[in-house]
Amino acid sequence: MKPLSAKKIEATKLKSLYPEPFASMIQGRTRRKLGDHFGLSNFGVNFTELAPGAMSALQHHHLTQDEFIYVVSGTPTLVLGDEEYVMQPGDCFGFKKGEGIGHQLVNRSSEPVAYLEIGDRAGGDQVDYPGHDLRAQFNADGSWSFLHKDGTPY
């Protein structure tokens, strides 16, 4: 392998892993899985683009995985618990595992947003989605299971 432009790595407009009705809420998000392209296994790196009006994910927080974002272009709004911050290119933020503060990026502007998201792949992760009857469990095989808050599967 040799260095290459992130834009040359295939963009995925995959349907979200979320079950419905949540999956359709994540339209307008495109990811280029940079870390996967290079075979990284300890952490993931995504180049993510949000169309105007799109969101990165449902507001969520992780039990065992840290996350980090770096804004490349555009002005996304970081929703962090009950607070909101308009971010600029060059701004960054880290989300420490286990803090229980829900977060997401929303593109409320009329221009596209691009950012890097970096996260570890620690096993045993659980993700809570405040405000939604949804919980995710990271499985040993690297897949995700989605459950209602009472533990019943979707």
Can you tell me the distance from the alpha carbon of 42 to that of 60, in angstroms, rounded to the nearest whole number? 21
Can you tell me the distance from the alpha carbon of 137 to that of 45, in angstroms, rounded to the nearest whole number? 20
pLDDT for residue 16: 83
Can you tell me the distance from the alpha carbon of 63 to that of 36, in angstroms, rounded to the nearest whole number? 22
CATH number of 18-122: 2.60.120.10
The domain locations on the chain are: 18-122
Q: pLDDT tens for residues 94-113?
A: 999 999 999 999 999 999 99
Q: pLDDT tens for residues 69-97?
A: 999 999 999 999 999 999 999 999 999 99
